[in-house]
Structure 1
């Protein structure tokens, strides 16, 4: 049996819609229009350029609580990404019309969701993964999770869970890992903690960029690059 989808709101039950307050603005029509405008140039660029891979940054609501949906990749997969927390996505096919088509197709293959293109808010800039492949994040709002029927592909997905914006924006749930490469420079990367699974790597970087886009002023990036003498 596939694991039950879990939702985390900094250790508390989802907040009733009537008392959500400003948190609901993250998925509001006004915020959607603002984000679409900010992403317009990037969206137009990547819809016309050939890319290697795409992921769908899956916004949703759980009992009215704005959240982000994640998958845990199957530990039986081959390659570096098995067992990692990720967004639905994968490599582009020749049959894909553009990067958005790739993200929607991969989401259908992994989660059984047939999403329409109008749920997409836009496309963010590409980012390299651990294999140096450029991955393009596509942001979409799936709507209320209660209205969706998820059918995860067990060959690709081991678990599905969500983290609420209120959880992700709590400083006690934010961590950072420090790295030093070749003794020349050091850098930090974000980690999001205290959910059912730790969010790290490229998925954490994309989560950080998403929080900066949807919740400006609420999330403060602590990642930095320090050159060594």
Structure 2
């Protein structure tokens, strides 16, 4: 069993364990995993509007696809976070990157990790985001995954998820957070690809 860190020690562990690779490749998209600098660090999360073409209404990390003007994955993550939440890039202390993840649609996504001050005045971009909220990192660490039903092409799948503040954190966002625990805090959270169908 991995050693469970107290919240007050989490930021120090992240700073020690995370870094940027000297050789990097552009991903198709990047997200910013922003964590507040306080005794009980919290993760910045957003909820996509119901009008979005992909992943409508889902909880996500600020981020999006690369543009030709972006110099690297860091630039993508910071630009998208600013566009979606009004987060000033100067307020982000960059820590490192996590392994590239692949979305359900096949897009390669690079997570960039940074620390931000608590209680920033953030504003959701209404055409993309309808809510900004924060989840304590320790709460995600300790919460047991619950089955979340997803219907796709007339089939039903149960994905692991975390329920928090009337939101459901699952899919790519949850996998990135599990990767943060593993890479940044040396904590291996049990996270199956699919859960067995709950008994009815």
TM-score, length of structure 2 as denominator length? 0.81
RMSD: 2.6
Residue 166 of structure 1 is matched in structure 2 by: 138
Cα deviation per residue 1:157-214 (whole Å; 9 max; x = unaligned)?
1111111122112244x335699xxxxxxx9853112433000110010011112233
SS at match of 2:166: coil
Matched residues in 1 for 2:91 and 2:72: separation?
11
Alignment length (residue pairs):
184
Are the counterparts in 1 of residues 143 and 162 from structure 2 also a CA contact under 8 Å? no
Q: Who wins on radius of gyration, i.e. which is larger?
A: 1
Matched residues in 2 for 1:80 and 1:89: separation?
13
Is the helix fraction higher in 1 or 2? 1
Residue 27 of structure 1 is matched in structure 2 by: 11
1:108 equivalent to 2:82? Answer yes
Are the counterparts in 2 of residues 23 and 66 from structure 1 also a CA contact under 8 Å? yes
- Give the 3 Å change call, closer, same or farther, for CA 178–221 of structure 1 in structure 2: farther
- Give the 3 Å change call, closer, same or farther, for CA 198–178 of structure 1 in structure 2: closer
Are the counterparts in 2 of residues 189 and 205 from structure 1 also a CA contact under 8 Å? no
Equivalent of residue 216 in structure 1, options 183, 186, 189: 186
Residue 3 of structure 1 is matched in structure 2 by: none
Matched residues in 1 for 2:8 and 2:143: separation?
19
Stretches of structure 2 lacking an aligned partner (at least 5 in a row):
151-156, 195-200
Cα deviation per residue 1:25-44 (whole Å; 9 max; x = unaligned)?
1113xx243223xx343xx3
For 1:30-49, list aligned pairs within 5 A. 31-36=13-18, 39-41=19-21, 44-46=22-24, 49=25
Residue 13 of structure 1 is matched in structure 2 by: none
Equivalent of residue 51 in structure 1, options 6, 17, 27: 27
Matched residues in 2 for 1:51 and 1:170: separation?
30
Stretches of structure 1 lacking an aligned partner (at least 5 in a row):
1-20, 180-186
Cα deviation per residue 1:70-122 (whole Å; 9 max; x = unaligned)?
00011122x22111100000010111110000000001100111113861111
SS at match of 1:167: helix
TM superposition outliers: structure 1 runs of 4+ over 6 Å: none
